[in-house]
Amino acid sequence: MGHLKGVNKTMLYTCGHKIPDSDSIIGAISMAYLQKELGHETKAVRQGEINPETAYILEKFNLKTPELKTNFAGCDLFMVDYNNYTEGPDDLKDANLVGIADHHKLGGLITSAPLEVWIRPVGCSNTVIKEMFDYYNVSIPKDIAGAMMCAILSDTVIFKSPTCTKIDTKACKELASIAGIEDFKSIGMEMFKVKSQVEGVPTRELVMRDYKNFDMYGKKVGIGQLEVVDLSIFDSVKDDLLADIKKLKAEDGNDTVLLVLTDIIAMGSQILVATDSPDVVEKAWDVKIENDQFWLKGCLSRKKQVVPFLEPAYK
């Protein structure tokens, strides 16, 4: 059965993390296509609901939404865009993990057998998957190439994020060429306009749209992020967002919940704070929390500009 070791002669599932973003959903689709071309019976699935940006991408390129699947015990699983237990299915330890394609730090997984691992310090998992297509000499269909291009534009904030590398920009341009798209940056701006639509959306849905849990030296920390083209769209809902992250903190027993409101044009983030440890949060960036919030100039990335500062402050 192709190149993967330890794969049963059953369905191979490709799946991203628990609260999926565009990289996770498109990564599952692109990985499923690659593995199918390599000889495996494969199915792309998702652990959670898709967000408006991802729905825009899927509709634009006429791709089917992967079906929801939350149980993986006894199943062959190729993980995309994460490599830890926190963001995985609850029964991840009972799954047969055969591969990982990711761009995050190592998350403490333990496997019973060797597996294929592609982890690179780049801005997007779909950049890694593009390299896998190239390595295995598999052609990418136009529709999947266009969606992969969008995933890279999303994760790298149209190349503005500090996580973005030359490898990402090269992959994105090559994918745009395959898809026959010239002005790919304008599609990126369209995506972020879709992301910026918050009117009428329930507060909890906004908080959870791109939300991740972390264990920081024994303290539970939740960090959500909303990327928009103008922070003023939050003026009428900011108080509700603050109230909701305080409620979420209590519900989940977290020490801290942050909601990172990122303005991709102004190149910075307003951080809303619900915490039992304000001294830790202030120490992380040498800031002063006022009215349960503070501004971080130049902050676009949770992965590079939020987590690496906050986690050591808990030591």
Together in a domain, 58 and 125: yes
pLDDT, average across residues 26-54: 97
Q: What is the per-residue pLDDT for 41?
A: 97
Kindly indicate the confidence band of residue 197, based on its pLDDT and cuts at 50, 70 and 90: confident
Instruction: Tell me the pTM.
Output: 0.90
Residues 84 and 175 in one domain: yes
Q: Is residue 224 a contact partner of residue 35, using CB atoms and an 8 Å limit? A: no
Question: Domain check: are 90 and 208 in the same one?
Answer: no
Q: Which residues contact 40 (CB under 8 A, 6 or more apart)?
A: 1, 2, 4, 7, 12
| pLDDT score recorded for residue 5 | 59
Point out the domain boundary residue: 192, 222, 249: 192
Collect all residues with Cβ–Cβ distance below 8 Å to 135 and sequence separation of at least 6.
Answer: none
Mean pLDDT taken over the chain:
95
Domain termination residue (choose one: 173, 192, 211): 192
Asked which of 192, 211, 227 is the last residue of a domain, the reply is 192
Number of domains in the chain: 2
pLDDT reading at 95 higher than 70: yes
Shared domain for 53 and 156, answered yes or no, is yes
For residue 6, name the pLDDT band (cuts at 50, 70, 90).
low
How confident is the model at residue 199, as a pLDDT? Answer: 85
- The answer on pLDDT for 313 being more than 90 is yes
Residue 108 has pLDDT above 70, yes or no: yes
Average pLDDT over every residue of 198-204: 92
**Is the pLDDT score of 250 beyond 60?**
yes
Cα–Cα distance, 49 to 27 (Å, whole number): 15
Q: How far apart are CA 249 and CA 196, in angstroms?
A: 24
Assigned domain for 264 exists: yes
% of the chain beyond a pLDDT of 90: 95
Tens of pLDDT, residues 138-165: 999 999 999 999 999 999 999 999 999 9
Residue 31 and residue 177 in one domain: yes
**Domain residues for 168?**
12-192
Is the pLDDT assigned to residue 136 strictly greater than 60?
Answer: yes
Secondary structure in 3-state letters for the chain: CCCCCCCCCCCEEEECCCCCCHHHHHHHHHHHHHHHHCCCCEEEEECCCCCHHHHHHHHHCCCCCCEECCCCCCCEEEEECCCECCCCCCCHHHCEEEEEEECCCCEECCCCCCCEEEECCCCCHHHHHHHHHHHCCCCCCHHHHHHHHHHHHHHCCCCCCCCCCHHHHHHHHHHHHHHCCCCHHHHHHHHHHHHCCCCCCCHHHHHHCCEEEEEECCEEEEEEEEEECCHHHHCCCHHHHHHHHHHHHHHHCCCEEEEEEEECCCCEEEEEEEECCHHHHHHHHCCCCECCEEEEECCCCHHHHCHHHHHHHCC
Say whether both 298 and 216 belong to one domain: yes
176 and 89 fall within a common domain:
yes
Whether residue 5 lies inside any domain: the answer is no
In a domain, 103, yes or no: yes
Q: Indicate whether 91 and 167 sit together in one domain.
A: yes
104, 239: one domain: no
Alpha-carbon span 108 to 135, nearest angstrom? 27
